Chain A
């Protein structure tokens, strides 16, 4: 980072700030015109339910909810987490050599999942997806700041979703990754209020309660507040913008 260099290369720098009143968190970035009240509510039976050890259930896609209320809305995500740091760019999520795979082609979609996060440096000793596996055993990815920076490749949230990731929880997101996650409905991009990635370890058992915007680490016994996913939640739940638009009558059903 810039702070690491001793001599400032720019002696003539001045800066002034004028705050706008608008709050511009990513969760506010998608406001569709015809959104009704948030249909998501939590199931009390899943609150704080103890984990089933390492056999914790994973979900195959953000849209495939591990537990559902009577309206079919996902309420909780439960599984093992995989922890990464800051500025995890799209090349680390899915290296460019695999971009020849076309996400809209089902067999290539599966293949993208098998390469998810394989671009992480060797310092990550635990692989996200084991070699010869198509899916990851980690259904929740926990990251630091600026998750998904870099390229606009939609292959990035698709690879995570195809690997079985239901949710990413990061301190902040790069704009295009957040948008692509919502547009495809592949993963829930949750923002944490504090820096969770420093307090969780890969393999910890996690529950995320959507309605409560709460993350519980059963391994450490700690609970964290998440920022509300807001209007993006129903879009991801529906399976992306097209599915959402059909569901809400914005565009005719196919």
Chain B
């Protein structure tokens, strides 16, 4: 359990389980402890003006704090914080994109002056990703505005695209911002990441505080590097049990949202712990945190561990300080799930909390399948879909659209061998299954977008999608029906033309 391994464990551990695991696994656990708490690249705390050791990072505290509270305490140069406190937080990274960047820049210039400089040119990350492969002139202009601003401000991290006819000739272009942030090493434990996109919470997978903000707040951050934030109380989700091989993190978060509703975590932090969470890869942890906002959450966090450090090894040389919830930290509520008993889920139209078992929807005829977005367009999402197609050996019965999140994901589809396939790549398996050719990486049709967006739902159809929202009109047409599902369930549904439990093919 993460909690028992972390230097400051938490108060909600099932004591019996802890004792058992401590008896049977004491040696491996202590070994892991060394690995997890003393990663090579972690240096000192960045708060030189403080004379005393900061309890926020040492764990030797008078009043216990959650990891979200600790991150905000460090960032606001305070030793102690409680939920409800409003504090000025120093921002480590501000991300913006082509949809909200121009507006944020407009506010920055209006309020700080035409010649103002951003607070730190290395802490602003600008990622065009939403409306890229479109002939919409205003959308194209918005990317131009970003480019002009980045040139003028000498922004260090700008992932530009100039030649829209072929994304591959744009080496700087990444694609979906939340995945690019992780792949380019901008997500680091213990830090504060703000972004002008609600799914900025994805980065909580790295044990950092990450949340979405509006243009005006982003304009303020561009000028000052600070923002007034309210410290959220934390809801704790303990997921234990071996995850069945037909489930993915998408099922876990759909389960949670179904349980607490689309407003169940409004203003709150969601902390994910337990043996199941520990077993998840970074990409799966990102899926879990990505949809925190669909429950109204302010941020999601997963405690950093060896999986986190390994992912970060070749991506960043910036020192970071992971923090963990104290043993006696106060959580607003705790939810426990035995994941070994969970079944594949979907969220039916028109709300992400409209949960149902995939098998309960087997009579729902569908028109198309969409695999993509920050939620379900990562390399592992496509590997999962390929696994289902491979296991079935059949062809899809409905149009199946594939939109890799980033250029890196796209390259993985054409180069990584799919396990058990005899060396085939995802792209080969998708072609054999009759899917559409993987499209240029971007946010694509997850949020509809301009009318000429690839795979946009322009007529009222029924779609099974690995994306994050299914409110009316989300993927284009107001009367379109979206079933949110895992990549396994999406691929299985493509093969039958109905919403389908992936166990039909995986077993």
Contacts and interface: CB of A to CB of B under 8 A. Distances in A.
A15 B473 CA distance: 34
A121 B470 CA distance: 13
Contact of B451 (A22, A97, A103, A121): A97
Contacts of B450: 97, 100
B355 A154 contact: no
Interface in B438-470: 447-451, 469
B233 A20 contact: yes
A5 B471 contact: no
Contacts of A89: 469, 471, 474
Interface stretch (A25-33, A126-134, A160-168): A25-33
A248 interface: no
Interface in B186-220: 196-198, 200, 212-217, 219-220
Interface string A206-229: 000000000000000000000000
A254 B261 CA distance: 44
B332 A150 contact: no
Given A20-B332, A103-B215, A152 B197 contact: yes
B130 interface: yes
A146 B142 CA distance: 30
A175 B139 contact: no
Interface residues of B, number: 77
B145 to A, nearest CB: 8
Interface stretch (B31-39, B98-106, B170-178, B318-326): B98-106
Contact of A4 (B83, B261, B266, B354): B354
Interface residues of A, number: 66
A1 B353 contact: yes
A34 interface: no
B472 A9 contact: no
A103 to B, nearest CB: 5
Interface in A37-93: 87, 89, 91-92
A12 interface: yes
A192 interface: no
A13 B449 contact: no
Which of B200, B354, B355: most chain A Cβ within 10 A? B355
Given A22-B82, A30-B86, A30-B228, A180 B472 contact: no
Given A175-B296, A176-B212, A14 B354 contact: no
B356 interface: yes
A175 B266 contact: yes
Contacts of B103: 102-104, 154-155
Contacts of A5: 355-357, 360
B225 interface: no
Contacts of A29: 86, 230, 267
A214 to B, nearest CB: 25
Contact of A18 (B333, B337, B353): B333
Contacts of B107: 104, 242
B266 A95 contact: no
A142 interface: no
Interface string B340-356: 01110100000101111
A149 interface: yes
Contact of B263 (A96, A172, A176, A179): A172
Contacts of B156: none
A2 B261 contact: yes
B259 to A, nearest CB: 7
Given A100-B450, A104-B103, A104-B215, A16 B266 contact: no
Interface string A131-156: 00000000000000110011111110
A28 B343 contact: no
A241 interface: yes
B63 to A, nearest CB: 13
A174 interface: yes
Contact of A15 (B298, B333, B357, B478): B333
Contacts of B130: 99
B330 interface: yes
Contact of A24 (B214, B267, B334): B267
B15 interface: no
A145 to B, nearest CB: 6
A67 B107 CA distance: 29
B479 interface: yes
A51 to B, nearest CB: 33
Contacts of B331: 18
B40 interface: no
A99 B142 CA distance: 10
A232 B230 CA distance: 14
A24 B479 CA distance: 36
A205 interface: no
B310 interface: no
A13 B335 CA distance: 8
B336 interface: yes
Given A30-B86, A119-B472, A105 B106 contact: yes
Interface in B104-137: 105-107, 110-111, 130-131, 136
A240 interface: yes
Interface in B465-491: 469, 471-474, 478-479
B360 A7 contact: yes
Contacts of B474: 89, 91, 96
Contact of B447 (A11, A31, A96, A103): A96
A149 B262 contact: yes
Contacts of A23: 84
Contacts of A26: 267
A89 B332 CA distance: 26
B372 interface: no
A105 B103 CA distance: 8
A96 B451 CA distance: 10
A31 B337 CA distance: 36
A17 interface: yes
A10 B217 CA distance: 39
B267 A154 contact: no
Nearest to A10: B255
A145 B263 contact: yes
A153 to B, nearest CB: 7
A194 interface: no
A114 interface: no
A15 B335 contact: yes
Given A97-B449, A175-B298, 5 more contacts: A7-B360, A15-B334, A104-B102, A154-B214, A175-B296
24 contacts: A2-B353, A2-B354, A5-B360, A7-B360, A12-B338, A13-B335, A13-B336, A15-B334, A18-B331, A19-B332, A89-B471, A91-B472, A97-B449, A102-B142, A104-B102, A105-B106, A119-B478, A146-B266, A149-B263, A152-B214, A154-B196, A154-B215, A175-B266, A183-B214
8 interchain residue pairs of minimum CB distance? A104-B106, A12-B338, A152-B212, A154-B214, A22-B84, A180-B214, A100-B138, A183-B216
